[in-house]
Amino acid sequence: MNRSQWISKSRGLHRFIGWAAAGALFLFICSGLMHILMVWTGPQAAKFFGPQSTIEIDELGRVPAILSTQHLSQAQLIQVVPTAQGNALQVTESSKSRRYFSLQTGKEWPNCDEQQARWLARYFTGLEQVPIQSVTLQENFDNQYPWVNRLLPVYRITFETPDQRTAYIYTEFAALAGLTNNWKNTVQGLFQTFHTWQWLEEIAEPVRLALMLTLLGALGVMILSGFSFRFALPSRRIPQTGRRWHRRLSLWVMIPLVAFLISGIWHLLTYSGNERQQALQLPDVISLPKMGEVARAEWLQDYQQQPVQAITLLQGPDNQLLYRIALPEGSMEQHVGHHQRFDGQSTEQPARYYDVVSAQPVSLTDSEIARFWAKRYSGLNDSDIDTIQRISHFSPEYDFRNKRLPVWQVNFNDDSKTSLFIDAASGLLVDRSDANQGLEGNIFSTLHKWAQLGHLWGQGPRDALMLCVVLIILGFAIVGIRMLRRRSNSP
């Protein structure tokens, strides 16, 4: 095929596929803008970190007594948490059952988990005096609380505001799992309808996949054919202004278009038909000793003059039952802010561990606890562990939607290159991924969401640049459509 034939065939293919490709371009870019609009105009949290508290020495001393007098024999997680009534011992018996015991009286607060969710919802939203319209326990994802939020079950708490402000609260570690209102639900619905086609996913996933790949494929063919004859054509002066600018911009818009296209198709193929459930997993049930038979915790006296930020009772290597004591990094008055969770600033000193039964200090570290739980969750051995690293800020590898920092990333050298993200403070498995998911997540974050620019410049400048680029692409497409119309109307 000579150069003239190549130019003719490329131009013909470009024009033939042009209308379908232009339709796909407008559909996906305009609906993608809904996501930026949702982020900019949706409701914002009044606070970005959970409530902080100081645990006094007498409260620490009541933990064994409560476990003894309440005859608790097993639990998945035991920790001291702040509540509206003061510090309480939170005992998680299952993912749907959490009990609370006052550290002042030792008595149980009945049905307190919902009250804790109400208090946290007011704390995160700042709506201290606004009446609450409804509270429901949500155990499944839906259109208003999609699977990207990761956490289940959550309390769905709606306030009596004109915009129906709704907070989704995960009480296990006092997290705001989601925040929405009528406006955000509408914009999110448009995004789900026209960008991800979620409505069709629930009806016929193969049809959704085929249609989306067809449209994206048409866009890919348009890019390749345009690229082909763009370089095959000799450089010359083009008299028509529209055609001249269409050619000038073609190389510039091709770069982000190819980035969006490749990452979008990869993301679509990765998650199409897959079960989308949260990866978070609570630790195994642990058996509790009779607390009247354990040694007195003399080590409590070490904290007479030190504020304690958190205490957790969890299982360690060799099934050893441990207290984990966390001390704040700096003054408790120096509350952490929104940027601290993204910048990786430490909020606590290295944890200290004590054996529950013997009351003796244990020379363990969070890294060793993370190693223990990673092996337990994966079923793999020490020899399978490649690296362990502390994750103190959100990134493409560990998304902000996990809502938990810091965590430990344990990378295995198995065939799948499994990575587990462990919360050493509780033994929670927060997230998991393999090599393919990790690579896809990085590619999608970088090429589709431009996450790296967000980390470098901030979300606002990143979104502004993305908006400028997609508007240029739309202008470029409009010029192309006008050229197609002229061609179709010409005799």
Per residue in 85-111, pLDDT (tens digit) is 999 999 998 767 799 999 988 899 988
Q: Are residues 181 and 239 in the same domain?
A: no
What does the pLDDT read at residue 371? 96
Same domain, 389 and 417: yes
How much is the average pLDDT of 341-355? 71
Give tens-digit pLDDT for 265-275.
999 998 886 65
If one compares 120 and 345, the residue with the highest pLDDT of the two is: 120
- Give the pLDDT confidence of 157-192 residue by residue, as tens digits: 999 999 999 999 999 989 999 999 999 999 999 999
Q: Does residue 320 share a domain with residue 202?
A: no
Q: 448-476, pLDDT tens digit by residue?
A: 998 888 878 888 899 999 999 999 888 88
pLDDT given for residue 187 in this prediction: 95
Contact 144, 182 (CB under 8 A): no
Q: From the centroid of its chain, how far is CA 282?
A: 17
Indicate whether 457 belongs to any domain.
Answer: no
CA–CA distance, 261 with 467 (Å, rounded to integer): 17
Residues sharing a CB contact under 8 Å with residue 238, sequence separation 6 or more, in sequence order: 244, 247
Q: What average pLDDT does the segment 422-435 reach? A: 90
For 281-306, give the secondary structure using H, E and C.
ECCCCEECCCHHHCCCCHHHHHHCCC
Res 299 pLDDT > 80? no
Neighbours of 176 (CB within 10 A): 23
Note the pLDDT of residue 234: 56
DSSP 3-state of 80: strand
Q: Are residues 308 and 438 in the same domain?
A: yes
Could you give the CA distance from residue 62 to residue 59 in angstroms, rounded to a whole number?
5
Mean pLDDT of the chain: 84
Average pLDDT over residues 342-371: 83
User: Do residues 261 and 352 both lie within one domain?
Assistant: no
Residue 202, pLDDT above cutoff 90 = no
* Domain membership flag for residue 487: no
Q: Is the pLDDT score of 195 beyond 80?
A: yes
Q: Under a CB-based contact definition with an 8 Å cutoff, are residues 467 and 473 in contact?
A: no
Contact 412, 432 (CB under 8 A): no
Residue 341: both structure tokens together:
């969770």
What pLDDT was estimated at residue 338? 45
Smallest Cα–Cα separation from 397: which of 23, 214, 329, 389? 389
Question: Residue 320 falls within a domain, yes or no?
Answer: yes
Residue 22 lies in a domain: yes
Last residue of a domain, one of 431, 446, 461: 446
Q: Give the three-state DSSP class for 162.
A: coil
Q: How far is CA 147 from CA 1, 73, 203, 472, in A?
A: 50, 34, 17, 32
Nearest to 445 by CA among 260, 193, 280, 209: 260
In this prediction, residue 238 carries a pLDDT of: 60
Residues 166, 134: Cα–Cα separation, whole Å: 9
| Across 66-74, average pLDDT | 79
- The number of residues in the chain equals 491
Residue 97 contacts residue 82 (beta carbons within 8 Å): no
Are 116 and 254 part of one and the same domain?
A: no
pLDDT in the model for residue 335: 45
Query: Which residues does 425 contact at the CB level (< 8 Å), separation at least 6?
Result: 79, 310, 312, 324, 326, 351, 366
What integer pLDDT is reported at residue 49 of this predicted model?
83
Q: What is the pLDDT of residue 298?
A: 76
- Is there a domain that residue 283 lies in? no
Rounded mean pLDDT, 331-358 = 63
Residue 380 confidence class, pLDDT cut points 50, 70, 90: very high
What pLDDT shows up at residue 467? 92
Q: What is the pLDDT, as a whole number, of residue 149?
A: 86
The Cα–Cα gap between 434 and 410 comes to: 11
Asked whether the predicted pLDDT for residue 336 surpasses 80, the reply is: no
Say how far apart CA 367 and CA 389 lie, in whole Å. Answer: 8
Q: Is residue 481 part of a domain?
A: no
C-alpha distances out from residue 57 to 60, 300, 308, 309, 377, Å: 5, 7, 8, 11, 34
* pLDDT computed for residue 304 by the predictor: 75
pLDDT of residue 251: 75
Q: Would residue 72 count as lying in a domain?
A: yes
What residue has token string 């409505």? 199
Q: Can you spell out the DSSP letters for 120-153?
A: HHHHHH--SSSPEEEEEEE-S--SSS-GGG---S
d(CA 435, CA 430): 17
Mean pLDDT, residues 336-345: 48
The SS3 call for residue 450 is: coil
Reported as a single tens digit per residue, the pLDDT across 127-161 is 999 999 999 999 988 889 988 888 889 999 999 99
DSSP letters, 167-233, are EEEEGGGTEEEEEE-HHHHHHHHHHIIIII-HHHHTT-HHHHHHHHHHHHHHHHHHHHHHHHHHHHS
Same domain, yes or no: 99 and 119: yes
Of 226, 281, 318, the C-alpha closest to 404 is 281
Asked whether residue 232 falls in the same domain as residue 332, the answer is: no
For the chain, the straight-line distance linking the first and the last C-alpha, in angstroms and rounded, comes to 28
pLDDT surpassing 60 at residue 276:
no
For the segment 367-375, the average pLDDT, to the nearest whole number, is 95
Q: Tally the C-alpha atoms within 13 A of residue 378's C-alpha that lie toward its C-beta.
A: 30
Structure confidence at residue 232 (pLDDT): 58
The range of the structural domain enclosing residue 127 comes to: 57-190
Instruction: Give the highest mean pLDDT range of 91-95, 159-163, 278-282, 398-402.
Output: 159-163
Angle formed at CA 404 by CA 260 and CA 171, multiple of 5 degrees: 120
Whether residue 101 sits in one domain with residue 185: yes
Q: Give the residue from 158, 190, 222 where a domain finishes.
A: 190
461 assigned to some structural domain: no
Confidence (pLDDT) at 333: 42
| Weakest mean pLDDT among 76-80, 337-341, 463-467 | 337-341
How many independent structural domains does the chain possess?
A: 3
* Residues 14 and 94 occupy one common structural domain: no
Tell me the helix, strand and coil percentages in the chain, rounded to 5: 50, 20, 30
Residue identified by tokens 């993608």 is 32
Angle, alpha carbons 420-423-425 (nearest 5°)? 155
Tokens 């704040």 identify what position?
A: 328
Taking only the tens place, the pLDDT of each residue in 204-251 is 889 999 999 999 999 998 888 777 766 656 555 665 565 666 676 777
Give yes or no: residues 311 and 398 share one domain: yes
Looking at 276, 308, 343, the residue that finishes a domain is 276
Residue 45 has a pLDDT of 93
Residues 423 and 349 in one domain: yes
- Where is 470: in which H helix or E strand? helix 459-489
Is residue 320 over pLDDT 60?
yes
